[in-house]
Amino acid sequence: MYRSVLSLDIEETMMVIFDKVEKTYPTALERGSVRALRGVSFSMERGEVVAYVGRNGAGKTTSLNILLGLIRPTAGTILINDTPPVESHVRNHVGYLPERPYFYEQLTALQFLRLMGKLSHMKSADITTRAESLLERLDIASVSHRRLRSFSRGMLQRLGIAQAMIHDPELLVLDEPLGGLDPMGRKLVRDVIMDARKSGKTVLYSSHILSDAELIADRVVVINRGVILKDAHLDELRETSRGLVEVTLGPSATIGLEELSARWNQGKRSGGAFTLTVSDHELQQIISTALSIGAEVREICTPRVSLEDALVELMDESAHEGGVS
């Protein structure tokens, strides 16, 4: 059943809704099957940039293909602007970059974008203007009349972004949009995504480059083995403490600091200060020890972890708890 009764409250601000989405693939064997998605539920408000992250094989591309109506779910509901994605008119409002886009190598970049514009039912008078604007924005205007067989992977990736945006869609679905790009190319694409958000577009993209997600995403949805492990704003994920506390000691007393560091088997110096990371239950003990050697306790805070560290922690916790089979 493609459309089920929603358990989520549909609001006018919602652009995308996944509700208890399941996808099971039969195997070549007589028995058994592969459950690619297991009750996936999350939603996106208009104007949000959401990073969809997880390991290879976690279910990211399957989710995106279902969202685009390219494959059908086994169960659950997917809506784009309150409409199932299998409705053909919905696709006019969606721009898509697949992980492995296909290009007609005999065409030039400008010819390719003109073709994409026609396939998107754009008015002929608007196609060339829009194509030239995107080629300029993505810094490939200088090669717009070169055939695509001569393009590098990074140049093709930028062109793929352009074709997804050619018809000015409300929703951008980008599967690994930063793959194959050099640092300047990644920054350029990040800027393009941020500009899209400023203009009110909604962007859902998958990525393995977590440092880029930290720079541009409003929220992160973490999927592992077809199950959503976390759906949170970026700051909430990065402030995961893992039960640890950072204690920074002043440089007023140096005697005993090495012993203190050795005792807790960790510590770092910076500008004369000394910082130890300890567990919550060790906090009182380390403060007492530090004061006993005459050290100045400058700061006690919860460490701010990177997105990569937070995701590794989530995966580890899932594995320790048995995860999904």
186 lies in the same domain as 97: yes
CA distance 58 to 38: 11
Instruction: Give domain status of residue 122, yes or no.
Output: yes
CATH number at residue 253: 3.30.70.980
199 lies in the same domain as 78: yes
For 143, the domain range is 14-238
CATH number at residue 36: 3.40.50.300
| Phi-psi group of 275: left, alpha or beta (phi > 0 → left; psi -120 to 50 → alpha; rest → beta) | beta
193 lies in the same domain as 281: no
Residue 255: pLDDT band with limits 50, 70, 90: low
User: Which of residues 26 and 131 earns the better pLDDT score?
Assistant: 131
Instruction: Give domain status of residue 83, yes or no.
Output: yes
Tokens of 34: 């592969």
204 lies in the same domain as 279: no
**Which of the 8 DSSP states describes residue 108?**
B
**Of 188, 217, 238, which residue sits at a domain end?**
238
Instruction: Label the pairing between strands 244-249 and 297-301.
Output: antiparallel
pLDDT number for residue 139:
96
**Which residue in 229, 231, 246 sits closest to 305, CA to CA?**
246
Instruction: Give domain status of residue 323, yes or no.
Output: no
39 lies in the same domain as 135: yes
Q: What mean pLDDT is predicted for residues 221-228?
A: 92
52 lies in the same domain as 19: yes
Report the half-sphere exposure of 269 (CA within 13 A, side-chain side).
8
User: Which of residues 5 and 38 earns the better pLDDT score?
Assistant: 38
Question: Residue 3 pLDDT more than 60?
Answer: no
168 lies in the same domain as 46: yes
Instruction: Give domain status of residue 318, yes or no.
Output: no
Q: What is the mean pLDDT of the chain?
A: 83
232 vs 16, 64, 217, 228, 241, CA distance in Å? 16, 19, 11, 11, 15
131 lies in the same domain as 67: yes
**Which residue in 282, 288, 281 sits closest to 249, CA to CA?**
288
User: Which of residues 102 and 285 earns the better pLDDT score?
Assistant: 102
282 lies in the same domain as 230: no
Residue 2: pLDDT band with limits 50, 70, 90: very low
pLDDT, tens digit, 9 for 90 and up, residues 309-320 = 767 776 766 665
Question: Residue 9 pLDDT more than 90?
Answer: no
DSSP-H helix ranges across 99-182: 109-119, 124-137, 153-165
H or E stretch covering 274:
strand 273-279
Instruction: Give domain status of residue 320, yes or no.
Output: no
Instruction: Give domain status of residue 8, yes or no.
Output: no
**Of 203, 221, 238, which residue sits at a domain end?**
238
pLDDT, tens digit, 9 for 90 and up, residues 122-175 = 998 899 999 999 999 999 999 999 999 999 999 999 999 999 999 999 999 999
Instruction: Give domain status of residue 192, yes or no.
Output: yes
188 lies in the same domain as 254: no
pLDDT number for residue 282:
77
CA distance 93 to 171: 6
Residue 240: pLDDT band with limits 50, 70, 90: low
**Of 194, 209, 238, which residue sits at a domain end?**
238
Question: Residue 10 pLDDT more than 70?
Answer: no
Task: Please enumerate in sequence order all residues whose Cβ is within 8 A of that of 89, keeping only pairs 6 or more positions apart, or say none.
Answer: 83
pLDDT number for residue 118:
95
Instruction: Give domain status of residue 280, yes or no.
Output: yes
pLDDT number for residue 243:
64
CA distance 249 to 267: 10
140 lies in the same domain as 266: no
Residues of the chain by 3-state class (helix, strand, coil), percent to 5: 35, 25, 35
Is 128 strand, coil or helix? helix
Q: What mean pLDDT is predicted for residues 174-200?
A: 93
287 lies in the same domain as 185: no
What total number of domains does the chain contain? 2
pLDDT, tens digit, 9 for 90 and up, residues 44-88 = 999 999 999 988 888 999 999 999 999 999 999 999 999 999 888
Amino acid identity, position 152: S
